[in-house]
Amino acid sequence: MQVGIIGSGVVAQTLASGFLKHGHSVTVGSREPRKLADWQSANPAAKTGNFAETAAFGGIIVLAVKGTAALDALRLAGAVHLRGKTIIDTTNPIEDAPPDHGVLRFFTRQNESLLEQLQAGFPDAHLVKAFNSVGAARMINPHFAEGKPTMFICGNDSAAKLAVANVLDAFGWETADMGAAQAARAIEPLCMLWCIPGFLRNQWTHAFKLLF
């Protein structure tokens, strides 16, 4: 696949390395692509570009930017470059404010989600929430003694969710499809839950698993 990764932070770089490891072509995007020079030197098979060049390159897109900037990042990427494409949405709607007793503050309310806002803004793209409820260090083929961890996903397009489930399978995850975009109202706060042991006890190495 040709994967266009919108974002230059730790999640973007981690997922880019994962896609490269699994044999895909990758472009990583930033408003200032020069900031990716060191990463590109270490990953010469990858390309870098601005958000629009990155989105144009991708047959599948990853959105890995600050939650407060997610809509703006997609606007810079350009609706024309997103039309009909699967967008793996890793973002969380985290407010620019410190956690309250280890609990992150969100700028969305309980019956809303960032994924729904993005989907409404870009109705011709197929957003799928994924990779938002684990730390970047455990995203690619993590090892847990208890077996494969679970990634909760949601989105409105079945084919897009199947494509994301295939990526998750290659990256060592089992997928739990929670349904339509509205399920992001439950999946995004898993990020809050995941971060609490980190903020309270400096524990950042866990992942969620759904048991039957």
Ligand X SMILES: NC(=O)c1ccc[n+]([C@@H]2O[C@H](COP(=O)([O-])OP(=O)(O)OC[C@H]3O[C@@H](n4cnc5c(N)ncnc54)[C@H](OP(=O)(O)O)[C@@H]3O)[C@@H](O)[C@H]2O)c1
Question: Which residues bind to ligand X, rule: CB under 6 A?
Answer: 7-12, 30-32, 64-67, 69, 72-73, 90-92, 94, 131-132, 135-136
Question: Among residues 20 and 136, whose Cβ is nearest to ligand X?
Answer: 136
Min. distance of Cβ 135 from ligand X in angstroms? Answer: 4
Closest distance of CB 193 from ligand X, Å: 12
Name the residue nearer to ligand X (CB basis): 102 or 158. 102
Encoding tokens for residue 4?
A: 């266009």
Place of tokens 């109202």: 185
Choose between 86 and 90: whose C-beta lies nearer to ligand X. 90
Please state, in angstroms and rounded to a whole number, the distance separating the CA atoms of residues 130 and 149.
13
Cα-Cα-Cα-Cα dihedral sign, residues 125, 130, 136, 141: negative
Give the shortest CB-136-to-ligand X separation in angstroms: 4
Amino acid at 126: H
C-beta of 34 vs 109, nearer to ligand X: 34
Strands 126-129 and 150-155: antiparallel
The total of other beta-carbon atoms located within 10 Å of residue 38's CB is: 9
In the complex, minimum distance from the CB of residue 212 to ligand X, in angstroms, rounded to a whole number: 25
For ligand X, the closer of residues 158 and 185 by Cβ is 185
* 94 DSSP assignment: B
Residue 143: Cβ within 10 Å count? 9
Both tokens of 135, joined, read 């730390």
Question: Coil, helix or strand for 127?
Answer: strand
Min. distance of Cβ 51 from ligand X in angstroms? 7
Determine the residue with CB nearest ligand X: 9
